[in-house]
Amino acid sequence: MTPAQVMAQLNKLGGDNGIGRDDIVENRYVGMKSRGCYETPAGTIMLKAHRAIESITLDREVAHLKDELMPKYASLIYNGYWWAPERLMMQEMINASQATVNGKVRLKLYKGNVIVVGRESADSLFDATIATFEDDAGAYNQQDAEGFIKLNALRLRIAASKGRSNR
């Protein structure tokens, strides 16, 4: 299917299942608030699928950085700065983050919900033999956590020794 055909099909399927309807109040760039009612079934479905495949193909810190960039990126576009150098620079970062984002996602559409029921990618960073509470063949030593926790809490122990509370 062409991208246009995919969008048309997802709009039909999503629309039939009540997906992608939103009623929001926006803060316009010029200072006023405006209300908008939108229907974006295909966009809603595609975003859910894309985020699902990102969840297994992106490194944790890359995913966090991308998520931090997205509000600024969206704001630039919303406010008409498509050709601004900062938007172009951010686009390069986002493109780089997507280099290994590929695979298949299975979704269930039901009563306004988009439910991920499966995902797979040859570039997945998920490894069931490591992410287990069973035998991980030595990939993770729980004793390593003791030093990590102690070191990570150093700032809290220093503050406590000075009588400072984090309440």
Where do the structural domains in the chain lie, given as residue ranges? 3-120, 127-167
Type of residue numbered 25: V
**Cα distances (Å, whole numbers) of residue 155 to 22, 162, 164:** 44, 11, 11
Beta bridge partners of 110: 113
Per-residue pLDDT, 167: 62
For 12-51, write each residue's pLDDT tens digit: 999 999 999 999 999 988 999 999 999 999 999 999 999 9
- How buried is residue 18: exposed, middle or buried, by Cβ count under 10 Å (0-12/13-18/19+)? middle
Residue that is written with structure tokens 């700032």 in the block: 155
Average per-residue pLDDT in the chain?
92
What does pTM read for this prediction?
Answer: 0.82
Residue that is written with structure tokens 């919900």 in the block: 113
Burial pattern 82-110, b for ≥16 Cβ within 10 A else e, equals eeeeebeebeeeeeebeebbebebebebe
For 58-74, write each residue's pLDDT tens digit: 999 999 999 999 999 99
Cβ-contact 125, 56 below 8 angstroms: yes
Residue 131 pLDDT > 80: no
Cβ-contact 45, 107 below 8 angstroms: yes
Residue 166 pLDDT > 80: no
Per-residue pLDDT, 77: 96
Cβ-contact 33, 63 below 8 angstroms: no
* CATH number, domain 3-120, options 3.40.50.620, 1.20.58.110, 1.20.1090.10, 3.90.1260.10: 3.90.1260.10
Q: What is the mean pLDDT of residues 81-93?
A: 97
